Amino acid sequence: MNNELLLDQDIGKQIQTIKTSVLTVEQHSLAEDVTPFGKSAAEFCVSKAPRLLVTKSSSLSGIPFNSNEIPYREGAPIQLLRYVKNWEGNNSQPGSIQIMEDALTIIKEIEEPVAVIAVVGSFRRGKSFLANLLLGRIDGFELGATVHGCTRGIYMWDTPFLLNGQRVIILDCEGINDPEQDQTWATMLFVLCLAISSVLVYNVNGVVEKKDVEKLFLMTDLTKRIHPPDDCNFYPHLAVLLRDFHFKQPDSFKQYFLSQLDKVNRQASNSVQQFFRDFDVYPIAHPGVLSDDLRLLDTLHPSRFSQEFRRTSTEAVTSILSKLAPRYIGPAYMNGIMFAQFLESSVKQLNDPTNNCMIAVPSEYEAVIRFIADKSIHRARRLYEVMMKRKLPPLPISWEKFADIHAEAFEEALGSLMAMLVGSARKINEFEIEFCKGVKKIESNYRKKNEKALCEFHENLAKRFWNSFVNVGLQEGNFFRTQADFDQAIEIFEYEYVMAMIKSPEATLVIKSYRNHYYPSAINRLSSNWSSRTAFTFNSSKPEAELEILDKIVEERRFYDELKSTEREVEIKNQKFEEKVQKMGEILKEQKLSEQELKRLIAEYEQVLASVKAENATKLSKMKDLWNSKKKYVKYALTGLRVVGAIAAFVAFVL
């Protein structure tokens, strides 16, 4: 039973028994802060031991940059994407992007919101070194020492680090305008970086030259190849680094940068402001080392760099990290699974030769939303089923207790579902309905089991009391002598049965069965006894009417149980959906949308919430009206009848 739930829990929780031994071996080098998936070092080490242990030992010789200001991040680079040229047939055919599974697996295991920093710019201009500074280190991503670009494809730091509740992925991207670079790949690369990053770090000369402006304009022009969604601020935050800046510090580097763009290409300046409503510009001083040492930056001690370089680099990195926000998918954060799915879908679009290097983000989001919904609904249903198995005592139980257990499992499972679902409020409502249909089937199976157990329990109960109080007077030589003796035995039988039964429609059905079959059979046996001089009858003036009342009581009780269960479900659904809509609104406010757009989206979500509540209220109102009519029918059927014994007890349950 436990194994089913454990399949969906953090893998580290399944290996607690060996945690101590692993910590003993690696305690000196494994810190809680550097494990990438929210697990302890020991837990992560067990699942990823070969790769992580190699990383740890190799990074012990790493060089921190400024550990007082920028935390030193352990790990190693791993390739995330590569471009494979098409060598078959016509060389004019574009190649394709391949995702490396090892890197993708690391991403998929991230449970927290994902934030992505992609470092881009011209080749051989120190991108990889800047990516290392974001990790608080001099070394890390490989630096080139020749005129040829070093980074091919996109490399990722293999240990995403935790910062303010989000896991940060650092990407070092292949340089732009490398002479060996395929133009199609250059386009794909930039479009992909724009689509997947939270922050795009763009590295340019401190003296903004025409070629820098052309590349920046190309970047903004490539935004046309992305069809963004309309329910979130999609484009990344742009951080422009002015490399080797040595001029007098202006009042505003942002305005300085825009003015430099204006001088060369006003359209480029307008495009940057249009597509990147949120961007910053940071100066980075010259490292202050000799030209020969520039080729060996990743081996130098931080003290070799100029104080101004250390200061400006630290200020830029700390500012970028402080403003870092997770990737959003509408009014929700992307976790590792979502981001991996979005990355795979985007690459698939870019690899489609008929797609002209376009990414239609809404359609990709739809694919991610559906993927997450399927996975979340499956997990939530399993959670419900496992909780029912755990909490249900041996059957039978009363329907009141069954309803309590169902409500508890339903609330837990629905809460889990809501935490995982992404998409618009309307979509989430659709997924909730889909989840509830599946839960209803599971609940129905447990209901059938309890119904069967209740029937068997009451049949055995009635049989025991019948044999003890009635059947003894139906045996040869021991027949009831008078009608009063028989009536008293029936009264005791029904009294003991009512006292011992579990209040339920099944209890009523069993007593109805006895009144319909066992009572007449007993009367016939007594009346046919040759020695009896009494014409035995059943103590009821209208036995058929009483049987009809029992039928209506069963019908009313079953509907009453359904009504009460539905009331609790509706209360839980309204609460969870309202909490989800509130959370979605909070996340939207983080995305720096325009006030008009923010109001529109929040109003849309609140409208859906109000509509859902109204539908639920209408459903309950109709059920209550129907229940009242069933209850009134029982009252009406009692007119003119004097009910006693078990029927009186069952009527009391209803009235």
Among candidate residues 322, 338, 354, the one where a domain is terminated: 338
Q: How many CB atoms lie within 10 A of CB 181?
A: 17
Among 89-93, 585-589, 597-601, name the one with the lowest average pLDDT: 89-93
Report the distance separating Cα 396 and Cα 541, nearest Å. 35
Among candidate residues 312, 338, 364, the one where a domain is terminated: 338
Percent of the chain past pLDDT 90, that is, above it, reads 47
Do both 9 and 96 map to the same domain?
A: no
pLDDT higher than threshold 50 for residue 33: no
Closest by Cα among 203, 647, 608, 209 to 430: 608
Do both 23 and 104 map to the same domain?
A: no
Q: Report the pLDDT value the prediction gives residue 442, as an integer from 0 to 100.
A: 98
Give the total number of structural domains in the chain. 3
pLDDT band at 449 (very low <50, low <70, confident <90, very high): very high
- pLDDT, tens only, 283-319: 999 887 756 555 667 667 788 888 998 999 999 999 9
Q: Report the pLDDT value the prediction gives residue 15, as an integer from 0 to 100.
A: 30
- pLDDT, tens only, 109-125: 999 999 999 998 775 56
Average predicted confidence (pLDDT) for the chain: 81
Residue 250: CATH number of its domain: 3.40.50.300
pLDDT higher than threshold 90 for residue 464: yes
pLDDT higher than threshold 60 for residue 18: no
pLDDT higher than threshold 80 for residue 59: no
Domain-located, residue 275: yes
Do both 30 and 160 map to the same domain?
A: no
Q: Which residue has the tokens 């909780």?
A: 387
Q: Report the pLDDT value the prediction gives residue 586, as an integer from 0 to 100.
A: 92
Higher pLDDT, 175 or 317: 317
Do both 298 and 326 map to the same domain?
A: yes
Q: Report the pLDDT value the prediction gives residue 541, as an integer from 0 to 100.
A: 52
Q: Report the pLDDT value the prediction gives residue 304, as an integer from 0 to 100.
A: 85
Do both 85 and 39 map to the same domain?
A: no
pLDDT higher than threshold 80 for residue 385: yes
Among candidate residues 338, 358, 378, the one where a domain is terminated: 338
Do both 8 and 98 map to the same domain?
A: no
Do both 40 and 68 map to the same domain?
A: no
- pLDDT, tens only, 194-250: 889 999 998 887 777 767 777 777 667 766 777 767 655 678 889 999 888 877 788
Do both 210 and 308 map to the same domain?
A: yes
Domain that holds residue 199: 62-338
Q: What is the DSSP letter of 142?
A: P
Q: Report the pLDDT value the prediction gives residue 356, as an integer from 0 to 100.
A: 76
Residues 6+ away with beta carbon under 8 Å from 84:
95, 96, 97, 98
Domain-located, residue 143: yes
Rg (CA), the chain: 37
Among 100-109, 189-198, 310-319, 424-433, name the one with the lowest average pLDDT: 189-198
Do both 25 and 100 map to the same domain?
A: no
Do both 482 and 607 map to the same domain?
A: yes
Instruction: Please state the rounded mean pLDDT for residues 474-481.
Output: 89
Q: Which bin fits 554, alpha (ψ -120 to 50), beta or left (φ > 0)?
A: alpha
Do both 120 and 15 map to the same domain?
A: no
Q: Which range, 40-49, 199-208, 579-588, 636-645, is most confident?
A: 579-588
Q: Report the pLDDT value the prediction gives residue 53, as an integer from 0 to 100.
A: 28
Q: Which range, 52-56, 69-73, 141-145, is most confident?
A: 69-73
State CA 321 to chain mean position distance: 26
Do both 96 and 18 map to the same domain?
A: no
